Structure 1
Amino acid sequence: MCSVSTCVVLYKKANLRLSRHMQKPSYHHGNLKAALLSVALDHVRQYGADKVSLRALARDLGVSQTAPYRHFADKDALLAELAAEGFNLLAHALQPATQTAQQDPIQAMEQAGVSYVNFALTHPEHYRLMFGSAHFHEKCFPGLDRTTEQSYDAILQIIEAGISQGVFRNTATELLALSAWSTVHGLASLLIDGLIDQSCVDDKEQLMKAIANTLMQGILTHPA
């Protein structure tokens, strides 16, 4: 049987081991950045972009208040990273359409429109950050600028293919691209914000194709 002092020492050691075992998981260099982005996206979903704070993210992840600053200079830098992530996802979603642009630019344009709206419906938090009024849009983030251009270039490639083949009107490429983007962006925004009565939309896919077809009538050389 142990003495009182020995029992106290053993108890303290056992308690120390238990407390270490029950500590929140630490995020080592290499995965903290990904964890911050993931939790930040949850905060955008729940509270809106304006309410995101690096302190709150650190608290939720169980890391020090200064830990997030090893990866992001401030909240705007983190939100810009999320927006860039969204533009990468959008570019990936548009890729199948751009790959068919030379074979059939009309089908490619319709496919791009449907893919764009589907992206917005699948990733509404990313979408709102990409095109919202968050303050980070007023700053310069090279990574964000680069990914934004990649997404827009996908639409330009389809327009250029259609013009070169004589199926799209031979007018300013940028103007046609802006017309296409405005149409699909407007529909996407209305859908994710719930401004279109869902009871009137039995088939979103058919709605998107119908609107894409209406858009095509405005840019085709010989509309139907």
Structure 2
Amino acid sequence: MVPATGLRDTLLDHAIVMLEAGEAEPGIRALARAAGVSAMAPYRHFADKAALLAAVAERGFALFLDALSAADAEGSDAERLVAQGVAYVDFACAHPALFRAMFARGAAAPKQPDAPAFAILTRRVAALVGADDPTAALGCWAIVHGMATLALDGGVTLMPEQVRAVLRTYVAGIVAVMRDCPTPGPSPEGEG
């Protein structure tokens, strides 16, 4: 029997294992069986299957944030941004079912720019270009998410060095654009 104090975490651990084993959406009763608890015990922590799946997505994003934060730990701003991208694709490939569940329609995906996993990316882009640049941040996210999706669902085998090369090219492009066309400030009076 699982102690009640750690039951929620145990249930989430089992739900993730079930997802990774191929169960599309673990049900509460199947989860209870897997955790070795009564059929009603999970309901103390999750009102229904949707609440369980939202909690799984939330746990996934916490793990994801840990991976991105570790990748962002050292190096130049460009190196950190590339490392984040590699970590993003690596996380998706290491946890394909969890990654899909995190971004499933209705899941707790980062719908707002201040979501922690997206915020670490936007902070690094801002540090790289010297200003908040939502377009560059969205481009970075689209590239890494696209590569992750291609690796998972498109049957494309991406080697880590390929991912790094694509990301280095994009980062160099961001830097070049900002150097050649910096974000315009307010125009002086009389110019128009």
Q: Same fold (TM over 0.5)?
A: yes
Contact 1:98–1:157 under 8 Å retained in 2: no
Q: How far off is 1:210 after superposition?
A: 1.3
- In the superposition, the TM-score normalised over structure 2's length comes to 0.80
Q: Which structure has the highest helix share of the two?
A: 1
Q: How far off is 1:29 after superposition?
A: 0.5
Unaligned runs of 5+ in 1: 1-25, 139-143, 165-169
- Give the 3 Å change call, closer, same or farther, for CA 120–188 of structure 1 in structure 2: same
Give the corresponding residue for 1:214. Answer: 169
| Aligned residue pair count | 176
CA-to-aligned-CA distance 1:162-218 (integer Å, 9 cap, x gap):
122xxxxx6x6111111000000010111123521x4xx5xx111111111222243
Give the corresponding residue for 1:54. Answer: 28
Q: What one-letter code is carried by the residue in structure 1 that aligns with 2:2? A: Y
Aligned pairs for 1:56-205 (under 5 A) are 56-100=30-74, 104-133=76-105, 135-137=106-108, 149-164=115-130, 173-193=133-153, 195-196=155-156, 198=157, 204-205=159-160
The alignment partner of 1:65 has SS state of coil
Q: How far off is 1:119 after superposition?
A: 1.2
Q: What one-letter code is carried by the residue in structure 1 that aligns with 2:4? A: H
Radius of gyration: which is bigger? 1
Q: What one-letter code is carried by the residue in structure 1 that aligns with 2:93? A: L
Distance of 1:107 and 1:68 partners within structure 2: 43
Q: What percent of counterpart residues are identical?
A: 33
- Give the 3 Å change call, closer, same or farther, for CA 59–210 of structure 1 in structure 2: same
Give the corresponding residue for 2:16. Answer: 41
CA-to-aligned-CA distance 1:51-89 (integer Å, 9 cap, x gap):
x21122123333222111111111111111111111111
The Cα RMSD (Å) is 2.5
